[in-house]
Amino acid sequence: MIAFYFRQQSLKNKQKILETEQRLNRARMNPHFFFNALTALQRIAMKENDGKALASNLSKFSNIMRETLESSYKEYVTVKQEMEFLKEYMEIQKMRFPQMFSYSLMVDGEMEPTDVMIPSMIIQPFIENSIEHGFADIDYPGEIRIDFKQVNKSILIEIQDNGKGLSLPGSKINEHISRASQIIKDRIYLLNIKLKTKADFSINNNKEGKGVIVKINLPLLYTNENIAN
């Protein structure tokens, strides 16, 4: 009984530590992104003299900063909120890399994006990887596709790009994917403990073309459900 008690306490402590780390990770978007985005905004202000473009991009940038900070205590968001965040994030990235890539976000017709909840900031690390690493030094237009699909009582999120794909062990792109994977792995581990679900994810090279495919399987959660943080 004593051994069981201490084991349970150890597991609870591990869970609390992971939860704290995950809150910090969600609030710790790559600082280089913010620095480079501000540099791009400065360029628009000084060289292009386009007040409307500057105001629009400043609004997107401030929304991204707000969502990033709020994500440290906001465990779940609706699919619609996540899509809006990703659109603004990718538009800011397109401001930095005007000709590098295009993107699309699609929602299964059976899913109502305002009613379905998913963990916040669970997709952005993979999008960042595609833009910052997968599309680096390619000589063709990059493409990112994000699909939200309802499969029975679960949600399948597919993230595809046509970049360089996974390469040899030890490469920078693999190191970055490993960091993103560990963050998501811990998020899903905590999700499964709290909700007694079997969420999972996978990352593989696209067997039918270039790039990487990420698949994230999550439980189907609705906004009217009482989900404890």
Please report whether residue 215 resides in a domain: yes
Domain of residue 86: give its range: 2-222
What residues contact 87, with CB distance under 8 A and at least 6 apart?
A: 105
Please report whether residue 184 resides in a domain: yes
What residues contact 2, with CB distance under 8 A and at least 6 apart?
A: none
Q: State pLDDT tens for residues 167-194.
A: 755 455 555 566 677 778 877 887 888 8
Residue 118, pLDDT > 70, answer: yes
Q: State pLDDT tens for residues 13-44.
A: 565 655 555 555 554 556 667 777 888 788 77
Please report whether residue 76 resides in a domain: yes
Point out which residues pair with 102 in neighbouring strands. Answer: 143
Please report whether residue 229 resides in a domain: no
What pTM was estimated for this model as a whole?
Answer: 0.80
Please report whether residue 228 resides in a domain: no
Please report whether residue 123 resides in a domain: yes
Please report whether residue 95 resides in a domain: yes
Number of domains in the chain: 1
User: In this predicted structure, which of 41-45, 69-73, 84-88 has the lowest mean pLDDT?
Assistant: 69-73
Please report whether residue 227 resides in a domain: no
Cα separation of 216 and 17, whole Å?
23
Q: What CATH number does residue 84 fall under?
A: 3.30.565.10
